Amino acid sequence: MGVVILGDLFHFPEGGAATNRVFTYAKGLKECNVNVDVVCFGNDYVKETSGVADGIPFNYPFGQQERNPSFFVRRWLTVKKYWNTYTLLKKISKSQRIESIIAYSNFSLTHVYAWVLSRLFGAVLLNECNEHPLRYYQDGFWKRKQGLFKCYLEAHLADGIICISQYLVQFFRQKGVSEKRLLLLPSTVDNTRFRLFGTNPMKEPYIGYFGSLTFDRDNVDLLIRAFARMSSQQPAVRLVLGGLASQTEKEKIRNLVSELGISDKVQVLGFLPREEITRYITHAGALVMVRGKDLQSEASYPSKLSEFLATSKPVVAVKVGDVPAYLNDGVHAYLVEPGDTDGLAQKLAFIFNNYQQAASVGQKGYELTTTTFHYRVQVERLLSFIESLKKKKSGNR
């Protein structure tokens, strides 16, 4: 049995949240004796256009290490990418039957192409959905209509849809998708990645946030302000912010920490390799997941939250989307309302003032990553879902 994960929303093996999701799928499938291949379908320029990472084969059908100066050559390479992908899957199918293709994309053309491939190779087509499908189609009547048509097309091309949240399951139900074609598959994590790793990168104890460094969706300014308020109680504690940020966002962060008088207590890291960011995460005294309350946050589930729980360190999280459905305040983590700066500051102060108690909460949070969020547990459910869809397709013939 073989599964192909195909998409243009992730890089492999290095990347962000989407890459981590793909990694956990692939690792779980391999452990279940399923052959898995990762196909990075974007027009990305990478040093390695194919290879094997942790036993997982990956390919970039675009096949380019650097940008060609010719517009026409670039268009030709984009067209050629489709043929390269077909020949790659044909080669894979000679050694094992491709039972399922998981499409991970925001582009309708990619979904249509994945559907064509699934029919050519007799595979079940699954759409991975971990964001609100209409998040970019909210402005104006015709924009909303365009988004609805796109959503309808992609949902009805797929044999099944993997939803990361109950919100998304309900969304697709309301759009007429049968419940039998929907799988609620929450955030997945390989908790062995987040055991204490390497040497401590900081001399002082620190609070860690690792993810996108934005003031809008990720509400990093809330964390900075809360840290400033609790800092007087715990002057030795530092704040470490790691992840991708535009120059504009970096400037906003610098201005805010300067305004609050905490420049010497806040360290902003750039994008770090997979192992290095893991080292910072595992050595943190506490970890924080902040987000604003908006359409995207209500529909999605932050993968970094399950990764933070996997460290067994105390975690503070904002109550958005499905977070309260899995985590109880003071039991698995410490929860605060969106936008509640004082509440977040109080939770952080409590953790460092009562660290032994907070550590026991961190341990309870960790236990969820051995069950609910564990990649192997969820991949076994994914395989059962694929089997049910295969039986349904066979019955319809």
- Phi, psi at 240, each rounded to 5°: -115, 125
Q: Give the Cα separation of 290 and 346 in Å (integer).
A: 15
Domains of the chain (ranges, CATH numbers): 2-188+374-395 (3.40.50.2000), 192-368 (3.40.50.2000)
Instruction: Summarize pLDDT for 260-300 with one digit per residue, the tens.
Output: 999 999 999 977 888 888 999 999 999 999 988 877 788 88
| 69 pLDDT above the threshold of 60 | yes
Q: Give the Cα separation of 211 and 244 in Å (integer).
A: 7
Bridge partners, 266 (sequence order)? 239
Give the residue, 395 or 82, on which the prediction is more confident.
Answer: 82
The angle subtended at Cα 243 by Cα 237 and Cα 247, nearest 5°, is 105
Bridge partners, 57 (sequence order)? 52
**70, exposed or middle or buried, with CB in 10 Å at 0-12, 13-18, 19+?**
exposed
pLDDT of residue 137: 86
pLDDT grade for 395, boundaries at 50, 70 and 90: low
Instruction: Summarize pLDDT for 164-218 with one digit per residue, the tens.
Output: 999 999 999 999 999 999 999 999 999 998 988 789 999 999 999 998 888 887 8
Bridge partners, 45 (sequence order)? 64
Bridge partners, 51 (sequence order)? 58
pLDDT of residue 232: 87
Report the percentage of the chain scoring pLDDT > 90: 80
- For residues 365-375, give the mean pLDDT: 96
Nearest CA-CA partner of 305 in 366, 228, 242: 366
Give the mean pLDDT of the chain: 93
pLDDT grade for 17, boundaries at 50, 70 and 90: confident
pLDDT of residue 211: 87
Instruction: Summarize pLDDT for 224-259 with one digit per residue, the tens.
Output: 999 999 998 899 999 999 988 888 998 999 999 999
pLDDT grade for 396, boundaries at 50, 70 and 90: low
Among 12-26, 133-147, 155-169, name the most confident range.
155-169
CA dihedral 95, 100, 105, 109 (to 10 degrees): 80
pLDDT of residue 218: 86
